[in-house]
Amino acid sequence: MPAEQLAGGQEIAQTFRPSRARLAAVEVVAAVYPQAGGDDAGDLRLRLEDAVTGRAVATTALPLATLVHNERYRLDFPPEPESAGRTYRLVVTTTSRAPARATLWSARDDAYVGGERTLDGRPVTGDLAFRAFYDYDLPWLVSDLASTVATRGWLLLALLALLLLPGAVLQVWLLPAVSLDAAEAVGMWLGLGLAATPLLLYVASLLHLQLGPPSLVAYLCSCLLLLGLRLRHRSGRRRELTVGGLLSPAAGAFLVAGLALAVRFIDARDLALPMWVDSVHHTLIAQLIAESGRLPTDYGSLMPTLPFTYHFGFHSLVAYLNWLTGLDVAQGVLVVGQVLDALIVFPVYLLASQVCHDRRAGLAAAVAAGLVALMPAYYVTWGRYPQLAGLEVLPAAALIIGWYLRSATAIRQGGWRLALLALLAVAGQVQTHPRVALMLACWVLADWLLLALAGKSGKAVPRLVLSVLLLALAAGALLAPWLGRLAQDQVASALGTSAGSPATFPFGLLVDLNDRYLLLAAAGGLGLGLVRRRREAVLVVLWVVLCLAVANPGWPGPVHNTALSNESLAIAAFLPVALLDALLVAELGRGLRVAAWPAWARGGAGLSLLAAGVLGAQALTGIVNPSCLLATAADLDAVRWVEQNTEPTAAFLVNSRPWQAGIHSGSDAGYWLLPLAHRRTSQPPLVYAQGMPSDVAKVNEFAQQVETEPSAAQARELMLAEGLEYVFIGQLGGPLRRETFANSPDFRLAYGNGSGWVYRLAH
């Protein structure tokens, strides 16, 4: 709600205590009334001061006539070295004579525990809406990285073993003839390893086997043994996997991956839990796998009866890491997701290098995707890690299927190896993320069309058709039990088309931060490629057009594909953009004859590219959107109390909010009670929307009643009707107000730590 409208001589103040050193900015949100709503002559003034000494830290004057409603305004100042734990006061005044037309937004409840709001020196209920920022400098980063590597570096080693060992075995045994440099090999291993991750769980479940730590260790040891046997067999041959020197593109890709990992670490270091609403059901699914050792049949006894039909590649990986290291599943979602986000460098390098036939172009694509583009770095805010995993499978799968088609066309010896590898890649892609599998299908169709058009033999097209049909039939047979489960569930209806508002493409996601420059470079690469009749330019354009056609089958009408949305394409657009950026570098390199340059000149060009990436990466540090937080570190104490001090059958009324497509989600840490404390909640994770229409409608109806801000008496009636005993209110809050229950005889306080509160229904 808006804070009080001030006139000259009045002030609003908010105290707060930063949790970090080097406080560097405070941001507020303006609440501006209509033209006749107050005086717009003069300024709204912000002053930050040390609450103990009265020392002025910074001041600014915002002309009232220029303030924009709901706009954020920031008070920047030199970093405060010793700010952690100190008390600061943000003071708001105005120079207007009459009540000013603009003020700041505030919370009507005491939402911020670390301080209080005052009006003309008197404490008042509520807190100003503000954000505080700190300056995270290089020495601090180096110290944090060193400490993290020393204490938890073994987690990264375990995760890399899970990601790379299976793919390395598949590559050296089934794809030995393809020449790859070290960075390309890592991209191939990563894609194949991610594809193998869900297949291991799927096949074990079909055979009625239960996986767990012993079987997983045996699996990895078998991979090591097979890899050792193959490498020993080839020990007398020339080594194929080389970095090629410190100034090679492969070495550059490893450096880019290291820098990307540091950036992803910065973005996630302050998070208590993975962000936003998707992360809740990702954690739940990974827990179900970790606890059962099998592919789940449903979402557990605390969810509405609902068959399990969710893609499970990323979740299997999180469960495997839990078995190997004991890392908490929720933390595993965050760790695995951020590591995958950094390792995207290698699959992008692989695809761009192979498609453009230029490893320098691959390095350019790696820099674009790993250090410059907003996506996929921003995936941390939305928890879109499963789609990220699918996008890391896609490059390896696309290349392998392409080689398989060419092998079948030429009837080369050893084509069965490629056929088997293509089958594994397709099946793993479908189970890692079916949405990305549709993108892969569009790539394969584009590649197939170009192959067919280029075929000089009349037998080429029939062989291509036969090859694709055989691969599709084999994949269908392997996935038949899983596809059958999908077909029997209500979720199958989402795999068609639905009528609604006209499908629109979110172009804003393509031009934010540095992306506008990448898009300009991609346009240049596309133009050069088309002028010079490069196959790769046509391939990328045809791929994008086919993806858009699948997402919008009724264009320009209102029919759109719910299985491949425009938003999902927009947040995956970094891949085709990076490919076209790579094409620009490749074409410029050919035109300038970079291959003939001396080694120092080629190395200098590569270093310049890396320097541009480092500059671009600065925009990616701090991209986490606080609006997408659901839980803080203080909330976790309340969640742990629930787990330790309430009955396993206890059920909780929690905050909710409208989300999208007519369904609802949680708005604070109460949404995490089901996966973290194993307690039933009034607002289940988003997967409830895949259930029967009657069940979905029941959950939605209850959420709508919660979102009307019920009184204590109304909340009591709702809880009795649904068998709920407790109310949980997290620090970030929602329509359930703490004051509603604190002042009611129908409820008693069971727990409160100043950030989270639990009230029990009085019987």
Identify the CA nearest to 693 among candidates 494, 506, 430, 534.
494
Q: Are residues 614 and 636 both part of a single domain?
A: no
pLDDT band for 492, please (50, 70, 90 cuts): very low
What is d(CA 162, CA 217) in angstroms, rounded to the nearest whole number? 10
Confidence check: pLDDT of 143 > 60:
yes
DSSP 368: I
CATH code of residue 739: 3.40.50
Q: What is the tens place of the pLDDT at every residue in 225-239?
A: 999 998 877 654 444
Confidence check: pLDDT of 242 > 60:
no
What is d(CA 763, CA 759) in angstroms, rounded to the nearest whole number? 12
Name the one residue in this structure whose structure tokens are 């992803």: 264
Confidence check: pLDDT of 456 > 90:
no
Structurally, how many domains does the chain consist of? Answer: 3
Residue 237 located in a structural domain: no
Average pLDDT over residues 153-173: 95
Length, in residues, of the chain? 763
Q: Pick from 86, 102, 136: which residue ends a domain?
A: 136
Q: What is the tens place of the pLDDT at every residue in 733-762?
A: 899 998 899 989 999 999 998 888 999 999
Containing 542, the helix (H) or strand (E) segment is helix 535-551
Q: Are residues 522 and 543 both part of a single domain?
A: yes
Strand pairing partners for 652?
681, 726
Q: Which two tokens stand for residue 654?
A: 């929690």
Residue 118 located in a structural domain: yes
Q: What is the pLDDT of residue 497?
A: 44
What is d(CA 274, CA 271) in angstroms, rounded to the nearest whole number? 7
Q: What is the pLDDT of residue 667?
A: 95
Q: Are residues 687 and 747 both part of a single domain?
A: yes
pLDDT band for 660, please (50, 70, 90 cuts): confident
Strand pairing partners for 106?
128
Q: Pick from 136, 167, 199: which residue ends a domain?
A: 136
Confidence check: pLDDT of 156 > 50:
yes
DSSP 635: H
Q: Are residues 49 and 126 both part of a single domain?
A: yes
Reported pTM: 0.93
| Cα dihedral: 108, 114, 120, 126 (round 10) | 10
Phi and psi at residue 275, to the nearest 5°: -95, 160
Residue 153 located in a structural domain: no
Q: Domain range holding 166?
A: 158-232+249-620
Confidence check: pLDDT of 494 > 90:
no
Q: Are residues 279 and 368 both part of a single domain?
A: yes
Q: What is the pLDDT of residue 381?
A: 96
Q: What is the pLDDT of residue 410?
A: 45
Residue 468 located in a structural domain: yes
Strand pairing partners for 680?
651
Instruction: Please give the share of the chain, as a percent, with pLDDT higher than 70.
Output: 94
Q: Are residues 614 and 590 both part of a single domain?
A: yes
pLDDT band for 413, please (50, 70, 90 cuts): low
First to last CA, the chain: 34
Q: Are residues 731 and 675 both part of a single domain?
A: yes
Confidence check: pLDDT of 500 > 60:
no
Q: 303: buried, middle or exposed (CB in 10 Å: 19+, 13-18, 0-12)?
A: buried
Lowest mean pLDDT among 99-108, 161-170, 197-206, 342-351: 99-108
Strand pairing partners for 39?
100
Q: What is the pLDDT of residue 302?
A: 83
Instruction: Please give the share of the chain, as a percent, with pLDDT higher than 90.
Output: 75
Q: Are residues 126 and 188 both part of a single domain?
A: no
Average pLDDT over residues 190-213: 97
Q: Pick from 566, 591, 620: which residue ends a domain?
A: 620
CATH code of residue 24: 2.60.120
Residue 6 located in a structural domain: no
**C-beta of residue 730 within 8 angstroms of C-beta of residue 669:** yes
Q: Are residues 354 and 301 both part of a single domain?
A: yes
What is d(CA 215, CA 207) in angstroms, rounded to the nearest whole number? 14
Q: What is the pLDDT of residue 331?
A: 97
Q: Are residues 540 and 407 both part of a single domain?
A: yes
Q: What is the pLDDT of residue 564?
A: 87
Q: What is the tens place of the pLDDT at every residue in 314-331?
A: 999 999 999 999 999 999
Among 411-420, 627-636, 670-679, the range of highest mean pLDDT: 670-679
**What is the residue-averaged pLDDT of the chain?**
91
Residue 4 located in a structural domain: no
pLDDT band for 248, please (50, 70, 90 cuts): confident
User: What is the Cα gyration radius of the chain?
Assistant: 28
Q: What is the pLDDT of residue 489?
A: 58
DSSP 753: -
Lowest mean pLDDT among 225-239, 359-373, 411-425, 529-543: 225-239
Residue 242 located in a structural domain: no
Q: Which two tokens stand for residue 423?
A: 């089958």
pLDDT band for 600, please (50, 70, 90 cuts): confident
Name the one residue in this structure whose structure tokens are 């299927």: 401
Residue 277 located in a structural domain: yes
Q: Are residues 132 and 180 both part of a single domain?
A: no
Confidence check: pLDDT of 612 > 50:
yes
Q: Are residues 616 and 636 both part of a single domain?
A: no
